[in-house]
Amino acid sequence: EAGVAQSPRYKIIEKRQSVAFWCNPISGHATLYWYQQILGQGPKLLIQFQNNGVVDDSQLPKDRFSAERLKGVDSTLKIQPAKLEDSAVYLCASSRGLADSYEQYFGPGTRLTVT
Amino acid sequence: AQSVAQPEDQVNVAEGNPLTVKCTYSVSGNPYLFWYVQYPNRGLQFLLKYITGDNLVKGSYGFEAEFNKSQTSFHLKKPSALVSDSALYFCAVRDYGGSQGNLIFGKGTKLSVKP
């Protein structure tokens, strides 16, 4: 089966600009996650969707980050405006459902550099 | 709060030698523990998990992990390392505090296997 797809793979922007990342999960996976992985750290969950509803966004900086999964399949994560500390790899992952939330499949990530 | 610790930033092993990557955990209930591997420019890949049962868990690529409740450890092991095992390894624990049991990752350990 095809894996989790993400685009773009790399993005360089200046601070205060906006950026958007796209994710297409594995077909049939109801649960989708966005993680932020800062260099030298493990991934940190930003937001979790179950179909098109938000399950957990407690660690999402809502003043600048937003995410949506309108049709319960693809998802976009947006940052507006970006700060230097947003430089990180943004990982998208999916799982079959909430009961399988611990067995997640990850995409290759988008490496964001904010200058 | 649930957490995992990976005390070593890097582990160096000669090819053919056994390897161990350490992980300790802190949880308030029964631990669900996981190992993921990240190759350069690729997303995280699931290696193995411990939920219940035998303390020795076998996973992908010849890896195994030993759950030790008294030492609150879940070390990753392989009897004979390959150069291709060189990667970043993450230990993770299920977050009981999260709304749907998401994963909390350690900071990662870089494994370097030399020929």
B41-54, pLDDT tens digit by residue?
778 999 999 988 88
Confidence of residue A17 (pLDDT cuts 50, 70, 90): very high
Confidence of residue B99 (pLDDT cuts 50, 70, 90): low
Taking only the tens place, the pLDDT of each residue in A51-70 is 989 988 999 999 999 999 98
Confidence of residue A103 (pLDDT cuts 50, 70, 90): confident
pLDDT at B78: 97
Q: Comparing B30 with B78, which gets the higher pLDDT? A: B78
**Start-to-end Cα distance in chain A:** 37
DSSP code of residue B79: S
Whether residue A101 and residue B46 make contact (CB cut-off 8 A), yes or no, is no
Question: Cis bond leading into A8, ω under 30°?
Answer: yes
Q: Which of A6-20, A27-41, A87-101, B54-68 has the lowest mean pLDDT?
A: A87-101
Taking only the tens place, the pLDDT of each residue in B64-82 is 999 999 999 999 999 999 9
Residues in chain B with CB shorter than 8 Å from the CB of A33 are: 102
pLDDT at A72: 86
B101 touches chain A (CB under 8 A): yes
Name the B residues in 48-77 with CB < 8 Å from any A CB. Answer: 49
pLDDT at B53: 85
Distance CA B65, CA B51 (A): 12
B41 touches chain A (CB under 8 A): yes
Residues in chain B with CB shorter than 8 Å from the CB of A58 are: 98-99
Torsion of CA B67, B73, B76, B79, to 10 degrees: -70
DSSP code of residue B29: S
Name the A residues in 22-51 with CB < 8 Å from any B CB. Answer: 31, 33, 40-45, 48, 50
List own/partner pairs for B5-9 with CB under 8 A and 24 or more apart.
Answer: B5/B106, B6/B89, B6/B90, B6/B91, B6/B106, B6/B107, B6/B108, B6/B109, B8/B109, B9/B107, B9/B109, B9/B110
The residue of chain B with its CA nearest to that of A101 is B102
pLDDT at A96: 86
B31 touches chain A (CB under 8 A): no
Torsion of CA A53, A57, A58, A59, to 10 degrees: 170
Residues in chain B with CB shorter than 8 Å from the CB of A50 are: 100
Confidence of residue B31 (pLDDT cuts 50, 70, 90): confident
A2 touches chain B (CB under 8 A): no
